Structure 1
Amino acid sequence: MAGDVDLLISFKNSLPNPSLLSDWSPNQEPCSFRGVVCKEGRVSSLTLQGSALSPDFYSVSTYLLSLPTLEMLSLHSINLTGDISVPTKCAEQLTGLDLSSNNLHGSVSDALSLATPCSSLQWLNFSSNSIGVYPLKKGFPVPTPFPLKSLDLSYNKIESTGDLQWVFSGLGILRKMDLSSNKINSSIPEISNCTSLQHLDLSSNSLSGNVPAGTFSNCISLSYLNLSSNHLTGTAPPDLASCTHLTILSLSYNNFSGEVPILSLTSMPNLKLLEIGFNSFSGSLSGSISKLTSLEILDLSSNGFSGPIPASLCIKAASSLKELYLQNNYFTGNIPDSLSNCAELVSLDLSLNELNGSIPRALGTLSNLKDLIMWQNYLDGDIPAELSSLKSLENLILDYNGLTGMIPDLGNCTGLNWISLASNRLTGSIPAWIGKLKSLAILKLGNNSFTGPIPAELGDCKSLVWLDLNGNLLNGSIPPELAKQSGKVAVSLLTAKHLGHNLLTGLIPPEMGELAHVAVLDLSHSQLEGPIPTSFSAMSLSEIDLSNNRLNGSIPELGSLATFPKYVYENNSGLCGFPLLPCSEESTSTLMGDVSEQSSTDYELSEGWWITVGFLFCIFFNVGFAIGLFL
């Protein structure tokens, strides 16, 4: 016990600021020290996470790793610094060492060298340090095999091809290896001894080239494989069929091409997540993918897939599928009604394809659906009223289609956060029930044929940050209730608010100036009258457009209104002030025009008078001259 106290107090005294461990006292039992856990009166575990203790690795190696009965040591995010060195002594029972999120330096061999004196070490976490800044030490013996079961070197600075090959050469009993978010810039070497490996993460590196045949052929226990966010090319890894225990497979954000190896995938009955988005895979999607009955997340987005969406994708009502991402491909044809069989579906994204036909009414039975995203297709028909049954719906995004009819009553979908129906052919009035959606942040209804007034109830949407009603046939005045969201949001992108390109009339409500956080305001191309409210001077606008209305009066000089170019105020009946002509100059110019015109008239009269006088003078002179001659 005395040895434990001495070692802990020695560590405390080595800190730049020992007072940070004020409750560590030589007069107290070490089991009462903050972060210490004991077994049978001896220190078995020490956790000092998240405190800026700023120790050097030497003091950790000298004092803490020497605690005789220590089993686990966690020093996550304590600003641990220095170069990694091999401790002269290590607790024989130490099985876990977490040194993540610090500022340690060293090579990969330095990190793994800790497994030699700490002979019982099973998991080692060096994530988020500076491992790899030094090259492998020459002559360092390759452990055959590693004694570790879990090794995390993610978010470091490993980049050498030799480092990767060296690590892969001694996997042994290693079950988990995480090398993600480094700078490894080689191809993937063959992994010769990976029969025990269950988790392999090489994502977010600079791996390139084809994945050689045989790379994963011996990885028969692999359940997690992540190769995403690299520069890998060619077809999908050819040995995936050997990995029959895979539950997670991510190949996204690479340059893989060709068809999806569906036969390899269907050999993985436990596969729950398949991510192959942002590649160059092509061809049609085989209906055989429905054999992956355990699949919960399927992401095929941003590839070159074409043809119809297989009706068999959700042919079984017992499907486990929760997230389906098929956006940004070339899928054609109708949306299968059978998608409604995926009763667990939470997110469905079919946007940016070439789908046509109507939205299946059967989708209204997906009681867990939160995201229904189908923008930029060729869909027509109405928005199914059956969607009102989707009480979990949060995001409804159907822009840029050919949808017609009126907006159905979705007032029961009280969790709606995003409604985006812009650029369709929708008609009717904007429904007042939208005002009941307390979580609604984005409402985009622009470029349709909506008529009638703007509902004052929209002012009850306390979370609204983006309102777009631009390009419709709305009439009436702007309801002052729209300002009721004032101060409720920290950042606003209200683009009307986008209320422009309508048939709005009347005055701009002064209350809109209370929307202090609005960044963009477009009220252009309507029939608004009267002055710009002086309350607009208090708004923190980055963009405004009031052009093409019937506004008059002086542009307020305070705030940001005077910083905008004149085109945002042009084509109004009587606006003046910077950046347009000054109001006084305009009046003066009119008056001077009258004076100038009068002066011109006077000049013409004066000129005529002198001509007449001159003419008469000539007559009198000639007459006088003639009389003189006669006399």
Structure 2
Amino acid sequence: MFNLSKALVNNTALIWDVTKDPCSWKGVECTPGNSSITEISLSGVYLYSLDFLPLLCQIDSLVSLDLSNNHLTSIPDKFIIDCGGIGGLQLLNISRNMLGLGGTDLPTFHGFVGLKFLDLSFNSFSGNISLQFEGLVALKSLNLSSNNFSGLIPTNLGKAMALEELQLSKNSFEGGIPDQMIDYPNLTLVDLSVNRLSGPVPARIGDLSKLEVLILSTNSLSGKIPETLSSMKSLSRFAAHQNNFEGPIPSGLTRFIKNLDLSYNKLTGSIPSDMLSPPNLQTVDLSYNLLTGQIPSNISPSMVRLRLGSNSLNGTIPSATFGTLENLLFLELENNSLIGSVPPDLGSCRNLMLLNLAGNKLNGALPGQLGGLSQLQVLELQSNKLVGEIPFEITQLPKLSILNMSWNSLNGSIPSTISSLQGLTNLDLQGNNLSGSIPRTIANMDSLLELQLGGNQLSGVIPRMPVKLQIALNLSTNLLEGPIPKSLAQLIGLEVLDLSNNKLSGEIPNYLTQMTALTQLLLSNNQLSGLIPEFNPRLTFDAKGNKYLFNASTPNTSPRSAKKGKSVTAASVIGFAVGVVIGIAISYNFYKINFYVAVVKHYGITAAIRTCFW
């Protein structure tokens, strides 16, 4: 250990006091009584030199060695030879280094007869895997995720077939899921996500009777979801999103599963009537498929997250069911063809944090019971057919940060109590039939970053706005009048300002040129007048439809300048006439001067000089 300490002193942030017992050193664990060293952790100590590695293998009592989160670039052959001879070594973690960088190959692990856990994840290994792990007879967990491996899924992973956990995610493996993988009967976790796998899932997958977690997401797998998954009693999590699976969802798939994600596939047919009801079911994500039919009315009381958005589901939202879902945190039913009203029973989901019903055909008035969702942070109801006024109760949701009720047929005024939503960052009410003035209390919404009120019938003047607005302020297509207020100068971080299609008058304020964060300024179709200030050319600026606006390179056509133009024209005519008269007079007098000069020259009469200027 003292030789190891000397080797480490120049290339690590770790300092070991050689005057003390090594069992007291940081990262070192020993047996009871400190008779021998069993564990060494050098994780995250900025190791980059390889010289010390063989020294570690001189500790023949070593059970666990953690070299993760350093800057190691390769594994020396001597390390493999020497450490491979430590029969008691069970755990080797060299994850989060730079192994393989520069093209160094994955070594073949000779020996290591007692090694159970090997973690080489988050490195830069590449190429195919063949027999490098075949000699690891005791191997139970292999993690090769987040490398650059390619070729087929490896199947020679220990002659004893003792493997329990196989993590190969975030590589470039291709081809199909091999049948030979099913020959490892003790597998409890298989993660093959984010690769280039294709083809169907082997029907024999159901033979893995101990499998608890199966993750196949983000590949190009196709075919149907195997029905054999429905009989796997130990399977608690199945994730296969972002693939090309098609066909119907097998009946009974969630009989034992707690967490299911089949989103972003091509699944068709209806949701099986028993699919959402198993009592242990906690999360279901079937979004972005081609599913039709109605939402099953029986939903597990353990449900935490239910995502069914972006399908072709129809019918109404089952109402009575949601009154009992006290554990539900996320309900996402957006972009379907759901009809009917928003169920008042949703207000009983006391712990609901996100409710997304956008992009359906829901109608009727919003129920005030939604005000009971005291934990709600996101409420999205846009693009429906909702009518009536904005319920006062919604303005009392204490944790709401995003409220979107745009593109409906809501009417009435914006409640002044909207300012009670002090945590709100995004408010979108555009595309409704809201009328009246914009509440002055809106200036008190200190957290607001985006305000979308365009496409309504709002009137009056523009009030003071929240000073932290950043993403957008959209007041377009309303009936607003008066000048562009000076108070907008406080919105120094605003990126988009849209005041188009109103009845605003007066000049464009010069302070708008100093709002450097602006990327879009839309003032078209108002009644603005005067000189257009000079804006940054990178700004998208539109002021068309204001006939009395002009800039330095175009004629001034404002009402004042039009009157002034008429006066100038009249003066020009008068001036021309006077000029003609004066010209005639000058010509006549010039003739007279010439006449008298001639007389003077002939007669020498000086008095005649005075006579010519009478």
TM-score band w.r.t. shorter chain: 0.7 to 0.9
Question: Pairwise mapping of residues 605-620 of structure 1 onto structure 2 (< 5 A)?
Answer: none
Say whether 1:329 aligns with 2:297: no
Moved more, 380-389 or 533-542: 533-542
Which is further off, 101-110 or 253-262?
Answer: 101-110
Which position in structure 2 is the counterpart of 1:255? 220
Structure 1 equivalent of residue 273 of structure 2: 311
2:486 maps to 1:534: yes
- Cα shift at 1:466: 1.0
Q: Structure 1's 552 and 137: CA in aligned 2 closer, same or farther, altered over 3 A?
A: closer
Inter-partner Cα distance in structure 2 for 1:7 and 1:535:
71
Task: Work out the CA distance in 1 between the residues paired with 2:433 and 2:556.
Answer: 36
Shift of 1:574: 2.9
Deviation at 1:364, TM superposition (A): 2.7
Q: How many residues align?
A: 562
* Correspondence for 1:99: 67
Gaps of 5+ in 1: 45-68, 613-631
Q: Deviations over 1:301-329 (max 9, x none)?
A: 1111111100021455xx21100000011
Kept in 2: contact 1:524–1:549 (CA 8 A): yes
**Structure 1 residues 141, 538: closer, same or farther in 2, change over 3 A?**
closer
Bigger helix fraction:
1
- Deviation for aligned residue 1:507: 1.6
C-alpha distance in structure 1 between counterparts of 2:333 and 2:76, whole Å: 47
TM-score (norm 2): 0.84
Which residue of structure 1 lines up, in the alignment, with residue 421 of structure 2?
Answer: 461
Name whichever of 104-113 and 144-153 sits farther off. 104-113
Distance 1:77 1:7, change over 3 A: same
- Give the superposition deviation at 1:185: 1.3
Contact kept, 8 Å, 1:537 with 1:560, in 2: the verdict is no
Shift in alpha-carbon separation, 1:215–1:595, aligned structure 2, 3 A: same
* Contact 1:376 1:400 survives alignment (8 Å): yes
1:427 aligns with 2:350: no
CA RMSD in angstroms comes to 3.2
Q: Which residue of 2 aligns with 1:10?
A: 6
2:231 counterpart of 1:278: no
Deviations along 1:208-258, one digit per CA (max 9) or x if unpaired, are 11233x321321000000111111011113541331110000111111111
Within the candidate set 434, 446, 471, 2:431 is matched to 471
User: Helix, strand or coil: the match of 2:291?
Assistant: strand
Q: What CA distance in whole angstroms lies between the structure 1 residues aligned with 2:25 and 2:112?
A: 38
| Change in 2 beyond 3 A, CA 1:112/1:204 | farther
Structure 2 counterpart of 1:299, one-letter code: D
Structure 1 pair 40–14 and aligned structure 2 pair: CA distance change class (3 A): farther
Could you list the runs of 5+ residues in structure 2 that have no partner in the other structure?
536-542, 544-548, 582-614
446, 455, 463: which is aligned to 2:406? 446
Matching residue's letter, 1:368: N
Look up the match of 1:403. 362
- Given that 2:457 and 2:479 are in contact with CA atoms closer than 8 Å, whether structure 1 keeps it comes out as yes
Structure 1 pair 607/484, CA: closer, same or farther in 2 (3 Å)? Answer: closer
Question: What's the offset of the Cα at 1:608?
Answer: 9.2
Secondary structure of the corresponding residue to residue 395 of structure 2: helix
Match in the other structure for 1:73: 40
Asked if the contact 1:130/1:157 (under 8 Å) is kept, the reply is: yes
Taking a change above 3 Å as real, the CA distance of residues 178 and 36 of structure 1, as seen in their structure-2 partners, is closer
**1:46-445 to 2 correspondences below 5 Å:** 69-83=36-50, 85-87=53-55, 89-107=57-75, 112-113=80-81, 115-133=83-101, 143=110, 146-161=113-128, 164-191=129-156, 193=159, 195-212=161-178, 214-263=179-228, 265-290=229-254, 292-293=255-256, 295-316=257-278, 319-338=279-298, 340=299, 342-361=300-319, 362-408=321-367, 409-445=369-405
Note closer, same or farther for the CA distance 1:215–1:509 as it changes in structure 2 (3 Å cut): same
Q: 1:600, CA displacement in angstroms?
A: 4.2
SS in 2 for 1:594: helix
Deviates more, 1:524-533 or 1:599-608: 599-608
User: Match of 1:185, SS?
Assistant: strand
Q: Which moved more, 1:7-16 or 1:95-104?
A: 7-16
Give aligned-pair identity as a percent.
33
The TM-score, its normalising length taken from structure 1, stands at 0.81
Deviations 1:261-316 (A, max 9, x none): 112x13421100011111111011121324x32x1101111111111100021455
Which position in structure 2 is the counterpart of 1:626? Answer: none
Partner of 1:50: none
SS where residue 380 of structure 1 aligns?
Answer: coil
Which amino acid in 1 is paired with 2:410? F
Within 1, Cα distance between the matches of 2:237 and 2:206?
A: 16
User: What is the deviation of 1:567?
Assistant: 6.6
Contact 2:90/2:115, CA 8 A, preserved across alignment: yes
**Paired residue for 1:629?**
none
Contact 2:12-2:47 at 8 Å conserved across structures: no
**Does structure 1 retain, via aligned residues, the 8 Å contact 2:141–2:164?**
yes
Look at both structures and tell me which one has the larger radius of gyration over its CA atoms: 2
Q: Secondary structure at the match of 1:410?
A: helix
Aligned residue number for residue 621 of structure 1: none
Q: How many angstroms does 1:206 deviate by?
A: 0.4
